[in-house]
C-alpha cells in the first residue's frame, strides 16, 4: 500500500476555528508512527544541509493505558513544530476495561469513528490539500458549536467512560453545547457503573 500522511485532530480543528497551533499529530497509513519518524529523520539528515531544518531527537512515548495513551507514539520537533507520529488505527474493547483489547492498523474512516468527538476526528490530507470529514459530522458540528460523538454516545462511553469527561471539558473550553445523546448517556445507569468500574478515582479527580 502507498504511504499516506494526514494531520489529525486538534490542529485541524484549531485552524478551522482560527486558533494558532504548533502541535501536529501525524496519522500514518501503513507504518507505525515510530517507523515513519525514523524514516523521516533519516530523509531530513540526508537531504538537508541546513541546521534549522534538522529534526530534533525522536522520543518514544511508551503506551500508558492508565493515562489514555493506548499506543506507542514517536514525538519530535521540526521548524518549531511539535510533532507526534502515530498510525491510523482501529481498536476493540472488552466490556470490563476501558483499555483496548486489540489495536490494529485502520482506515481513515475507522480511525475517525473511534475518536472521542466529531470535531476532533477531522483530517488534513497533505497529498491533496483537502480537509477530510470521515464522520460527515465534524465540519457541521464545528460550525454549529456542537460536541457530539462519532458513534452513539452510550457505546462510546461504555468503551471508555473517560471520554464523557473529555466531552464536558471540550464543551467548556470552546463554549460548545453537548449533544442530547451525550446528556442522556451521562444520566444512564450503564455509564455511572462504567465510570465506577473502569476509571480510577485519581483519573477523575475524586
pLDDT in tens, 104-147: 678 999 999 989 999 999 999 999 999 999 999 999 999 999 99
**Higher confidence at residue 28 or residue 62?**
28
pLDDT of residue 106: 84
- Single out the residue of 30, 71, 36 nearest to residue 55, CA to CA: 36
Average pLDDT over residues 182-198: 88
**Structure confidence by residue, pLDDT tens digits, 4-27:** 999 998 999 999 999 999 999 999
CATH fold of 5-143 reads Beta Polymerase; domain 2 (3.30.460)
Pair 1, 29: CB distance under 8 Å: yes
State the maximum Cα–Cα separation within the chain, in Å, rounded to a whole number: 60
Cβ 57 vs Cβ 49: under 8 Å: no
Where are the domains positioned within the chain? Answer: 5-143, 145-205
Banded model confidence at residue 193, pLDDT cuts 50, 70, 90: confident
Measured CA distances, 92 to 179, 186, 202 (Å): 24, 22, 25
The mean per-residue pLDDT over the stretch 40-61 comes to 68
Alpha-helical regions (H) of the chain: 10-16, 33-47, 108-113, 138-144, 153-159, 162-174, 180-186, 189-198
- The string over 162-172, giving b where at least 16 C-beta atoms fall within 10 Å of a residue's C-beta and e elsewhere, is bbbbebeebbe
Q: What is the pLDDT of residue 158?
A: 86
Question: What is the Rg, in whole angstroms, of the alpha carbon atoms belonging to the chain?
Answer: 18
Q: What does pTM read for this prediction?
A: 0.79
Tally of residues, the chain: 206
pLDDT at 65: 46
When mean pLDDT is compared across 9-13, 29-33, 44-48, 107-111, the lowest value belongs to 44-48
CA 166 vs. chain centroid, Å, equals: 12
Amino acid at each position: 500500500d502507498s504511504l499516506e500522511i494526514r494531520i489529525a485532530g486538534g490542529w485541524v480543528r484549531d485552524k478551522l476555528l482560527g486558533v494558532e497551533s504548533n502541535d501536529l499529530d501525524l496519522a500514518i497509513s501503513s507504518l507505525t508512527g515510530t517507523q515513519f519518524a525514523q524514516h523521516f529523520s533519516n530523509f531530513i539528515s540526508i537531504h538537508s544541509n541546513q541546521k534549522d531544518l534538522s529534526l530534533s531527537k525522536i522520543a518514544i512515548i511508551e503506551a500508558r493505558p492508565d493515562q489514555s495513551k493506548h499506543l506507542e507514539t514517536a514525538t519530535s520537533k521540526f521548524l518549531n513544530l511539535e510533532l507526534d507520529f502515530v498510525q491510523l488505527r482501529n481498536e476493540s474493547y472488552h466490556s470490563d476495561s476501558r483499555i483496548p483489547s486489540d489495536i490494529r492498523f485502520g482506515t481513515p474512516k475507522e480511525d475517525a469513528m473511534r475518536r472521542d468527538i466529531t470535531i476532533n476526528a477531522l483530517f488534513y490530507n497533505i497529498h491533496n490539500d483537502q480537509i477530510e470529514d470521515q464522520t460527515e459530522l465534524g465540519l457541521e458540528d464545528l460550525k454549529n458549536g456542537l460536541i457530539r460523538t462519532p458513534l452513539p454516545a452510550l457505546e462510546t462511553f461504555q468503551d471508555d467512560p473517560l471520554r464523557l469527561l473529555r466531552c464536558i471539558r471540550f464543551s467548556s473550553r470552546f463554549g460548545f453545547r453537548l449533544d442530547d445523546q451525550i446528556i442522556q448517556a451521562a444520566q444512564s445507569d450503564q455509564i455511572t457503573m462504567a465510570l465506577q468500574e473502569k476509571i480510577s478515582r485519581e483519573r477523575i479527580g475524586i
